[in-house]
Structure 1
Amino acid sequence: MPTNSRTPNRVAIVDVNSAKSQVLAALQQHGTECVHVQSPDPDVVLGQPFDPEGFVGGIQHTGDVGATASALRDYGVSCVIAIGESGVELVAQLNAELGTPGNGLSRPNCRRNKYEMILALRDAGLAHAASILSPDADEVIEWAETTAGYPVVLKPVASCGTDNVVACASREQVRAAHKKIMASTDRFGKANKTVLAQGFLEGDEYYVNTVSRNGRHHVVDIWRYYKRRDLASGSFVYDYDEPLAPQDPDSEKLVAYTRQVLDALEIRNGAAHAEVMLTDSGPVLVECAARPGGAHAPDVLRRCFGTYQMDLLALSVAKPDEFDRLPTGALPLLRGVRSVSLINPKDDGVVPSHELMAEIRALPSHAYTSMWHPEARRLPRTVDAATAPGLVYLVSDDPAEILADYQKLRQIEGDYLYDGGSREVRAAGVPA
């Protein structure tokens, strides 16, 4: 029900996506009500029909920012926040129209368009990857052979989740990857009309989760990515992530650089998820999203850090004075944790049953499992984030236990997990 008066206990969320339960729970614990704004292509953006339960109202945005802002003004929202990638640009526009805390608009596309992002870093004097944007594969090849050198990484300019991110070591690979990207749509259903190519960054890759208010950046946690490169396709597959302790010598470098990146991208309010390569010459941005990172197990993260990014985002909008009193450094690590991406190594697999997954759940350090597809569905070989079967969190005070359980998990995957049927049936020689 519209109120016609602004209240700190009512916020708007654009394209809530699969994080609906998390964001609602985090905000509602502070007595904050939520209004939902749907972008024009809900089936493409969300992948499922929007469920209005838990919201005090909803608005379908049809492209008129002024009209949507007027409707939000009637609801009395104190700010608009982005949860998914699809809402990042609209959130900035709505906050500017409403005069509510938001992010800068001197470069309106730099928080979605990865090439504009690089230009913003360049103009701020920050380290950045050598890059070229071109719809012409020959131009990319010439740039690779005269400027960047091989390998180079090709990707869509505004997608996410390792979508069509390919490392190319030859002109033939560049041509094939470029053709594939140009012939496809990105994760949001938009046609790829050009391709971003970047010099390959050597080093260890991390992501830094933050929450900002009025330009003051609070670091939540820092994790190191461990990825595999699929030799057949050149694409990158998530293996596992592990947090970096705040006292680690690399933490200070990553935090200082990430704060500069946030300033360069004019991320002044809300959550951000920055992916940074720590090279021999220092940190270099891979990309930065002006929304929360994907957190699939809030209870696990609270066990390991005491809180997590969505909790702090909710606090920043519901109780800003309390948020401002918090330390701005990364949270201390309370327990060891590894987030393991499941990997189907077979060209043709089957999503395992709940019964078969019991062997994973029985691992001593197992804390949480999330499967991303229904049981028994055909499953292609994992080549990127979209084709991963799910993820598993392992938590223990003993690093050796986490390592042993990780190795056992990968053994189970390679031996039988995605074959279909049960281990006992196959052991008896009966076809699954």
Structure 2
Amino acid sequence: MVDVYAPTVPLAQAFLDAGATVVRVQSTVAAPPVYRAHPDLGMFAGNVVHTGDFAATRAAVAAYGPDLVITGGETGVELADQLSEALGLPSNGTALSPARRDKFLQNETVRAAGLRATRQLMVTDEEKLRAWHAEIGGRVVVKPVRSAGNDGVTFCATPDESVAAYRSILGSTNIFAQRNEAVVAQEYLVGTEYAVNTVSSHGRHRATDIWRYAKMTVNGVVDRHAGVFSTPVDDVPDVVEYGFAVLDALGVRHGPAHLEIMSTPDGPCLVEAGVRLCGGGAAYYAALAGGESQLEWTVDAYLRPERFAERHRRPHQVRQHVVTAYLTSPVAGVLEEYPLLDQVRALPSFHKEHIGVRPGERLPRTVDDSTEPLMIGLAHPVAQVVADDFRAVNYLDGAGFYKIRA
């Protein structure tokens, strides 16, 4: 499993629980700083660090006699494709690997397959960017071609803002400690955005869970994700059908994927895709909502493909309605306490809290996923209860929610 870090340890554990032996492969010599918590290497039968010599890494992995090579995260997608293909194992292949990571190539590949894709520009010149934005009109999105977690994603209302975003992103370092060598500008899609999590086996696809985004513009950030609402898969058949077509276009035949799709008045349109497990604890909350997640379906896809084939079209369940609320700090400093957290805990649908910044630690002003102070999980059999409680969390989450040390 390539690039297993803290967010995807549950996937490694799911394979261990199924009786598999897991060897960890690290695609870079140094781990990306964004992964502050590293997995316990004791859970793995080995740890192979890729130093850039593919032949050496292939030989080191081959020595374990693997049945599968899969990615454990976004940064491991391409190396997992290379290793699985070179070793003759189930693989998505390398022909379309770049399109599974590069956001510009991704949309062009989807467009070439005859699917709706966002209008976009690979930015190479500031004046061309100005002219393109003026032609598109309104708001556009400028972002790195490779990253994740909303890192570097900038919403720009004017051509001058687009150029400023381009200058800021190009040459900067992304959350994976990689230099941003290219920037893409895309039209701003208006509609309802969904996260569609899937698992594939030999070209058969299963939508395991779907989440509808709630957004707000705060702290100078447009469309900051305030939370996600579990959405019954059968409620959005057009989004699911389009998502499966995107997987086919990107050559995804095996493994988990995370698709962000905007449902617009003109139909679904891809925002971006990650051909790996969805992070952020999604699997836990997916199982809470519908009794299934990417974890067990990924294990079946690789270890029990016949079982996957028999079950992948079975009806979906709704066990509870679930919301995860992402809190947004408007202040920065050393955190003393969350004085209103007990009021959140008292809400009827409160399920769990996930604290990212603890008292005594430095609290940043929230501008993206990596600067979220905490996440609140809500769950209840009645959808209206979680909707009301989500609004209560939003109401409480302001300057008064954070006591900063004087």
TM-score, scaled relative to structure 2:
0.93
Secondary structure of residue in 1 paired with 2:70? strand
Match of 2:301 in 1: 316
Structure 1 stretch displaced more, 253-262 or 288-297: 288-297
User: CA separation in 1, counterparts of 2:388 and 2:377?
Assistant: 14
User: CA separation in 2, counterparts of 1:334 and 1:101?
Assistant: 33
User: CA separation in 2, counterparts of 1:417 and 1:350?
Assistant: 14
User: CA separation in 1, counterparts of 2:319 and 2:200?
Assistant: 23
Match of 1:193 in 2: 181
The answer (yes or no) to whether the contact 1:83–1:292 under 8 Å persists in 2 is yes
Equivalent residue for 2:96, pick from 107, 115, 127 = 107
- Structural mapping, 1:121-160, within 5 Å: 121-146=110-135, 148-160=136-148
What amino acid is aligned across from residue 86 of structure 1 in structure 2? T
2:380 aligned with 1:391, yes or no? Answer: no
Match of 1:274 in 2: 259
Tell me: CA distance 1:350–1:363, structure 2 relative to 1, closer, same or farther (3 Å). farther
Match of 2:316 in 1: 331
2:27 aligned with 1:33, yes or no? Answer: no
Structure 1 stretch displaced more, 368-377 or 195-204: 368-377
What amino acid is aligned across from residue 158 of structure 1 in structure 2? R
Tell me: CA distance 1:355–1:418, structure 2 relative to 1, closer, same or farther (3 Å). closer
Tell me: CA distance 1:20–1:279, structure 2 relative to 1, closer, same or farther (3 Å). closer
The number of residue pairs the alignment matches comes to 405
The answer (yes or no) to whether the contact 2:335–2:360 under 8 Å persists in 1 is yes
Give the Å deviation of 1:136. Answer: 2.4
What amino acid is aligned across from residue 276 of structure 1 in structure 2? I
Give the Å deviation of 1:201. Answer: 0.8
Give the Å deviation of 1:295. Answer: 4.4
The answer (yes or no) to whether the contact 2:68–2:302 under 8 Å persists in 1 is yes
Secondary structure of residue in 2 paired with 1:339? strand
Gaps of 5+ in 2: none
What amino acid is aligned across from residue 42 of structure 2 in structure 1? E
Match of 1:256 in 2: 241
User: CA separation in 2, counterparts of 1:275 and 1:382?
Assistant: 22
The answer (yes or no) to whether the contact 1:152–1:198 under 8 Å persists in 2 is yes
2:406 aligned with 1:419, yes or no? Answer: no
Tell me: CA distance 1:49–1:306, structure 2 relative to 1, closer, same or farther (3 Å). closer
- Structural mapping, 1:30-429, within 5 Å: 30-44=18-32, 46-49=35-38, 51-146=40-135, 148-230=136-218, 233-248=220-235, 251-296=236-281, 298-328=283-313, 331-346=316-331, 348-351=332-335, 353=337, 357-414=341-398, 416-420=400-404
User: CA separation in 1, counterparts of 2:149 and 2:207?
Assistant: 22
Larger Rg: 1
Deviations 1:378-427 (A, max 9, x none): 22221211211121110011233223322332233225221237xxxxxx
Q: How big is the alpha-carbon RMSD for the aligned residues of Structure 1 and Structure 2?
A: 2.1
The answer (yes or no) to whether the contact 1:236–1:383 under 8 Å persists in 2 is no
Tell me: CA distance 1:397–1:109, structure 2 relative to 1, closer, same or farther (3 Å). same
Tell me: CA distance 1:235–1:189, structure 2 relative to 1, closer, same or farther (3 Å). farther
What amino acid is aligned across from residue 169 of structure 1 in structure 2? A
Tell me: CA distance 1:400–1:419, structure 2 relative to 1, closer, same or farther (3 Å). same
Give the Å deviation of 1:67. Answer: 2.2
TM-score, scaled relative to structure 1:
0.88
Match of 1:425 in 2: none
What amino acid is aligned across from residue 409 of structure 1 in structure 2? V
Give the Å deviation of 1:137. Answer: 2.3
Deviations 1:270-304 (A, max 9, x none): 10000001111111000011101114165443232
Structure 1 stretch displaced more, 189-198 or 407-416: 407-416
Give the Å deviation of 1:78. Answer: 0.9
Match of 1:429 in 2: none
Give the Å deviation of 1:155. Answer: 0.4
User: CA separation in 1, counterparts of 2:190 and 2:211?
Assistant: 17
User: CA separation in 1, counterparts of 2:216 and 2:333?
Assistant: 19
Give the Å deviation of 1:113. Answer: 0.4
User: CA separation in 1, counterparts of 2:55 and 2:239?
Assistant: 39
Give the Å deviation of 1:115. Answer: 0.7
Tell me: CA distance 1:288–1:299, structure 2 relative to 1, closer, same or farther (3 Å). closer
Structure 1 stretch displaced more, 284-293 or 131-140: 131-140
Secondary structure of residue in 2 paired with 1:110? helix
Give the Å deviation of 1:48. Answer: 4.5
User: CA separation in 2, counterparts of 1:94 and 1:187?
Assistant: 24
